Structure 1
Amino acid sequence: MTSGARPRLVVGITGATGAAYGVQLIRRARMLGAETHLILSPAGVLNAHHELGMGRDALEREADRSYAPGDVGACVASGSFRTAAMVVAPCSMRTLAAIANGLSDNLMTRAADVTLKERRRLILMVRETPFNLAHLRNMTSVTEMGGIIFPPLPALYLKPQSIDEMVAETVERVLEMAQLPGAEPQSWQGLRPSSTS
């Protein structure tokens, strides 16, 4: 990207639970001035409809540009298309496995592969519990390749008052991890001394 250009953020939404993370990432990234590129898996569309009541058209309108997984000729499939980072939010175990093993079999996994090979930030918000050994090994492989495994665990020490607050704080942390200028997650200020001590 040329100096002064808007940072580009690629966001993938898969069929794992937690579609709100992907949608809020796009909304917040756009508020911060980023150019957003959305890749939607078919299962991601189904899950977003179930969890958020949003169909494909509504999801696609959230981003500057959107792509189907079969669109392997899209700009985000090439390392020459400079991006700041890619976040898969949420990331299914199937997508994690494909990325961990270099299976660029659709645009989602190809864009992730490109992000890794170009030494850019790849953040996978994995959603599954409990993890089996294959999940853990795949997360280790992605980490060894330079990716970041970022399960969307709530910062309960901040005492969030709603699910929306928990999602928003996690999104802010992810955007900071993606090095998007302007992201401002809350920082821990330490425990206050007890008045009874």
Structure 2
Amino acid sequence: MDAAHMGADLERVLITEDEILEKLDELAAHITEHYEGKDLLLVGVLKGAVMVMADLMRALPTSVPVDWMAVSSYGSGTKSSGVVRILKDLDADITDRHVLIVEDIIDSGLTLSWIKSNLESRSPASVDICTLLRKPDAAKVDVDVQWVGFDIPNEFVVGYGLDYAEAYRGLRVVGTLAPHVYS
């Protein structure tokens, strides 16, 4: 989906597709160096991280196994409910493996903090985090994030996997959603 097809629903573009892909190439280089010679598993958080995971995997120079978790803390609104539910758990055993959680966005940090704690309880060698987007002004808990693509303002954003009520995920950019859409 192209930003031009959004009409008045998209207030403004924050990050272009080219900027996203360039940043993911940078992150992939750092991740490759950090995990060289280690048993790495990428864990994507569904559904939002699908685009980030796909393009990050393509940017890595070697094949890395992946697994997925699906959790929910949003429902159909624009703010996290703070209650985390596992909708899909990992298929892989992560004991003694290096786990890299791949996220699309960190808002309050509550969901990600819960996911990290949950995964750490399973005896991995390490659990690190890579996110495309982070909203520092929205943070409610401090989450140690090793790799951040972009810090963005505390506005409701869509595109590149991020949705509002299951719409706009396919947008190739990250942009702010016009208030008339969700108010």
Which one scores higher on RCO, CA 8 angstroms, separation ≥ 6? Answer: 2
- Structure number with greater Rg is 1
TM range (shorter): 0.3 to 0.5
Q: Which has the higher helix share?
A: 1
TM-score (norm 2): 0.39
